[in-house]
């Protein structure tokens, strides 16, 4: 069996999304029974606004990365654009989005917990992808690893392509997946509203 046949990228992505969903459900569950110590203070509102900004950066950044990597991940080593400064820029933007999602609770604790869960899940994914890439592309991938940080980014390494062959399907899929992050805003606002009405009990106060 060849390296390409032995690596099911779609299966890995499905497992990653399932793990992230479980983590998100856990954070949402904790948000249902907790509330930030800050309440409606400027710190609380400021964290939510900062988190929303990170979500927007995440959506735009992931879509940008898809222009370079969409449909090419198993066919070649992409080392231009965002992939010239980080081997996993799409995941780096996802980390931003994860913190942004958690920040919609107004709690730094929950934002950090969801960020750490996301990093753990993606790190496991990256290790599997790296093992396959090393076997499939050999020295070419080794050279890429030597000059490009796993996450980084190292802006001094920036290189871009003169032109790109864009594959709309992958761009739109990545954009759609990114827009899901925005659901955190009405979700956690609804939780806060239910807590204000006394329909949800607050068992914990988190910073």
How far is it, in rounded angstroms, from Cα 37 to Cα 43?
A: 10
- Position 17 in a domain: no
pTM summary value: 0.87
Answer yes or no: is 26 within a domain: no
Considering the domain boundaries, does residue 110 fall inside one? yes
Token pair belonging to 133: 């890439």
pLDDT classification of 56: cutoffs 50, 70, 90: very high
Which long-range contacts does 109-117 make (Cβ < 8 Å, 24+ apart)?
A: 109/206, 109/207, 110/27, 110/30, 110/31, 110/34, 110/206, 111/47, 111/51, 113/27, 113/30, 114/23, 114/24, 114/27, 117/20, 117/23, 117/26, 117/27
Over 70: is that where the pLDDT of 72 sits?
yes
Do the domain assignments include residue 56? yes
Is the predicted pLDDT of residue 206 greater than 80, yes or no? no
Element (H, E) at 61: helix 42-69
The CATH number of whichever domain residue 139 belongs to comes to 1.20.120
pLDDT digits over 91-141, tens only? 999 999 999 999 998 889 999 999 999 999 888 889 888 999 999 899 999
Is residue 3 domain-resident? no
Domain of 198 in residue numbering reads as 41-157+166-205
96 in a domain, yes or no?
A: yes
- 120 within domain boundaries: yes
What is the tens place of the pLDDT at every residue in 127-138?
888 999 999 899
- Total domain count for the chain? 1
The residue length of the chain stands at: 207
Q: Is 127 left (phi over 0), alpha (psi -120 to 50) or beta?
A: alpha
Spatial separation of the C-alpha atoms in residues 64 and 62, rounded to whole Å: 5
> Over 60: is that where the pLDDT of 161 sits?
yes
- Cα(5)–Cα(63) distance, rounded to whole angstroms? 27
Does 106 reside within a domain? yes
Average per-residue pLDDT for the chain: 86
């Amino acid at each position: 069996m060849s390296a390409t046949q032995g690596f099911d990228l779609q299966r890995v992505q499905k497992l990653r999304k399932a793990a992230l969903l479980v983590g998100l459900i856990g954070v949402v569950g904790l948000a249902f029974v907790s509330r930030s110590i800050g309440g409606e203070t400027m710190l609380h509102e400021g964290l939510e606004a900062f988190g929303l900004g990170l979500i927007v950066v995440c959506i735009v950044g992931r879509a940008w990365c898809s222009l370079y990597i969409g449909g090419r991940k198993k066919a070649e080593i992409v080392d231009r654009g965002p992939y010239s400064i980080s081997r996993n820029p799409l995941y780096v933007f996802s980390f931003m989005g994860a913190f942004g999602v958690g920040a919609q609770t107004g709690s730094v604790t929950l934002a950090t917990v969801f960020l750490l869960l996301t990093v753990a899940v993606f790190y496991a994914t990256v290790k599997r992808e790296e093992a396959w890439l090393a076997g499939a592309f050999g020295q070419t991938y080794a050279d890429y690893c030597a000059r490009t940080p796993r996450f980084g980014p190292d802006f001094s390494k920036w290189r871009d392509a003169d032109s790109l062959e864009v594959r709309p399907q992958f761009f739109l899929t990545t954009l759609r997946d990114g827009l899901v992050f925005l659901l955190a805003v009405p979700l956690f606002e609804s939780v806060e509203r239910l807590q204000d009405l006394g329909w949800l009990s607050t068992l914990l106060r988190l910073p």
